Amino acid sequence: MADGLTFSMNCPQCGGALSTAEGEKVANCQYCKSLLYLEGDQGVYTTRFKNALDSVKATEVLTQWFGKGLKARDLRQKAAVTEVFPIYVPFWRLRARAAGWVCGYRVERHTDKDGHVHEKKVPMEVMVFRDFEWSQIACDPGDIGLKKLPGLQGEVISQDEGDIPTFEATTSPDAARQTGVEAVRGMAVSSAGVPNITFQKMHVLPKFLAMTYYPVWVCRYTYSGRTYFATLDGVAARSLSGRAPGDPLYQSLIGVGGAAGGGLVAGIGGAVLGSSVEGGLVMMVIGLVVFVGGFMFFRHGSEVTEGEIEAGYKKPFKGIMDAAKDVQRGVR
Amino acid sequence: MPVKVTLVKCPSCGKPIQGTADRVFICDCGVAHTRDDAGTKTLRYEVAAPNPQAVAQAEPVYVPIWKINTNVAILRERSEGGFFNKLFGDNWKGGAVTIYVPAVEWDPQSWKHWSQTLTAKPPQYAPQQGFGARKRMAAGRDVEQAKQLADFIVLTYEAEKPGVLQDIAYEVKVIDSSLLYLPFVQLPSGFTLAL
């Protein structure tokens, strides 16, 4: 992961070139053996990934993206690219060691041969003692579908690339550190896997807070008179997020297939209810999810989305999946 | 320039400090200090003399350990099952405890083993002046983080008593802290205390 990031600089004593890993506070000059203290701006280390695309390559990546997934089949031929430009997007990154305990219990249910449901509380105590990494976009990205740092592989540069605009960070280092620490605490507690918590104490020891500028290419294009967009990873040359027109054929097939498949599974679930309550209920829920999913894609699939963009046909799934989990928990 | 590079000088004699990268800077004049973006802070430290017999097996290396003197109070505790207290007896409710927190970036298992071993059985050592020609490991954790880890060690002791901990209220009051360099030898089986 982030272990590969290094900074290059010169020793103020002898001028020798030296490099050090991100987050290190102290470096040692290999030439004059001086010890050097590295002071970040308000404790923040800044890294900037080198942009690896130009507008021609970005357009190629975009055109390849047109042909993937459930997008309109003629998108590659009919889309007209109107704008392709790079920006540097800032992301906060925090690496921290979590050290603590989460105590509580899980509930185990079983049904005896007479059909009586028995519950048993199984006490749990789980230690968490490991590193976590958190990242979050440091500016208001609008609706471009970027929330977390896309990757950590690539060449790191120390100077600005003058011709590429940079989004300014809109959150302060203190606010980012606080948010990051709380997020790591949440990840650590969650990683313990204790469903019902009676006690928790989790220390979070930050190793470093970094601001990472990542090159993102924003592409706009039109199709059948409507404007769409996509964002591309300027380091890994791949798509990150975007909106694209859907295809009526895929809409119809998924709508019909979802209704038929969902109905079939739910029907089988209803038939087996007599022999297995749990299995029957689970199958009925799965059938319902497939049915609703197919319908929602049919209803909203005229536009497909990728990346961290909320799509119309994806919204109902969260509620349905939560409900399905509740049902599963209930019958266990 | 996003990162400012400063030459590390001794706050006592002003001489540039040479050595390997470390969060604790020890000058030839014997003064140790730590620094953060707010400034420098001098530090109390001790170096334990190695046992000559242990040194015969392998060349020792000095490992920095934070010695955190605390007053611990267990106010309330509830666990499911188990009645035995492995470390402090059945009904340990706290008291003065010196907690040993390794300042090195050991793997979690080794770190936990040595923090618990040294805290349960504090090392007996004779102090010596300086490190001689022997190496010392870099301190990767500052004293503020060590205080939080001391709290974690207390909680770990309580949680690892027989039974499954369900709730606890406790206090760890830090009285003072210092750094202790203990000699270890690295054998194929891992680190061994060379006292």
Contact between chains at A199 and B165 (C-beta distance less than 8 A): yes
Residue B83, token pair as written in the block: 């009645």
Span A135-164, pLDDT tens digits: 988 887 666 777 777 776 767 776 555 677
Contact between chains at A129 and B108 (C-beta distance less than 8 A): yes
Please report which confidence band the pLDDT of residue B150 belongs to, taking 50, 70 and 90 as the band edges: very high
Q: Indicate the number of domains in chain A.
A: 3
The domain boundary residue, chosen from A245, A275, A308 = A245
Is the pLDDT at B114 greater than 90? The verdict is yes
With an 8 Å Cβ cutoff, is B17 touching chain A?
Answer: yes
Q: Complex ipTM, two decimals?
A: 0.86
Is the pLDDT at A9 greater than 50? The verdict is yes
Q: Do A53 and A151 have their domain in common?
A: yes
Residue labelled with tokens 């203990």: B182
Average pLDDT over residues B158-177: 92
Partners of residue A198 in chain B, C-beta under 8 Å: 166-167
C-alpha A76/C-alpha A64 separation (Å) is: 8
Average pLDDT over residues A230-237: 91
Q: Do A141 and A206 have their domain in common?
A: yes
Q: Which of A34, A41, A124 sits opposite B7 (nearest CB)?
A: A34
Contact between chains at B18 and A41 (C-beta distance less than 8 A): no
What are the backbone angles phi and psi of residue B17, rounded to the nearest 5°?
-100, 130
B contact residues 28-67, partner A, Cβ 8 Å cutoff: 35-37
Q: Do A70 and A216 have their domain in common?
A: yes
Q: Do A118 and A225 have their domain in common?
A: yes
Distance from CA of B56 to the nearest CA of A (A): 30
| This prediction's pTM | 0.75
Structural domain for A23, as ranges: 2-39
Average pLDDT over residues B113-119: 94
Distance from CA of A218 to the nearest CA of B (A): 27
DSSP string, A184-247: HHHHHHHHTT-SEEEEEEEEEEEEEEEEEEEEEEEEEEEETTEEEEEEEETTTTEEEEEEEEB-
Q: Which of A284-288, B10-14, B44-48 has the lowest mean pLDDT?
A: A284-288
Average pLDDT over residues A102-117: 89
The domain boundary residue, chosen from A187, A213, A245 = A245
Please report which confidence band the pLDDT of residue A3 belongs to, taking 50, 70 and 90 as the band edges: very low
What are the backbone angles phi and psi of residue B29, rounded to the nearest 5°?
-75, -5
C-alpha B93/C-alpha B88 separation (Å) is: 9
C-alpha B48/C-alpha B45 separation (Å) is: 10
The domain boundary residue, chosen from A196, A213, A245 = A245
Q: Which of A39, A125, A198 sits opposite B37 (nearest CB)?
A: A39
Distance from CA of B159 to the nearest CA of A (A): 7
Q: What DSSP state is assigned to residue A330?
A: H
Contact between chains at A34 and B8 (C-beta distance less than 8 A): yes
Average pLDDT over residues A40-49: 73
C-alpha B127/C-alpha A9 separation (Å) is: 40
Q: Which of A125, A130, A211 sits opposite B108 (nearest CB)?
A: A130
Strand B164-187 and strand B45-48: the pairing is parallel
Residue B176's pLDDT is what? 93
The mean of the pLDDT values for chain A is: 82
Residue A331's pLDDT is what? 44
Residue A153 or B185, more confident: B185
Q: Which of A213-222, A250-259, B169-178 has the lowest mean pLDDT?
A: A250-259
Residue B178's pLDDT is what? 94
Contact between chains at A123 and B80 (C-beta distance less than 8 A): yes
Q: Do A318 and A221 have their domain in common?
A: no
Residue B86's pLDDT is what? 47
Contact between chains at B21 and A37 (C-beta distance less than 8 A): no
Q: Do A119 and A234 have their domain in common?
A: yes
Q: Is A109 helix (H, G, I), strand (E, B) or coil?
A: strand
For residues B141 and B66, the answer to whether their CB atoms sit within 8 Å is yes
C-alpha A216/C-alpha A237 separation (Å) is: 9
Q: Hey, what amino acid is at A158?
A: S
Beta bridge partners, A134, equal A94
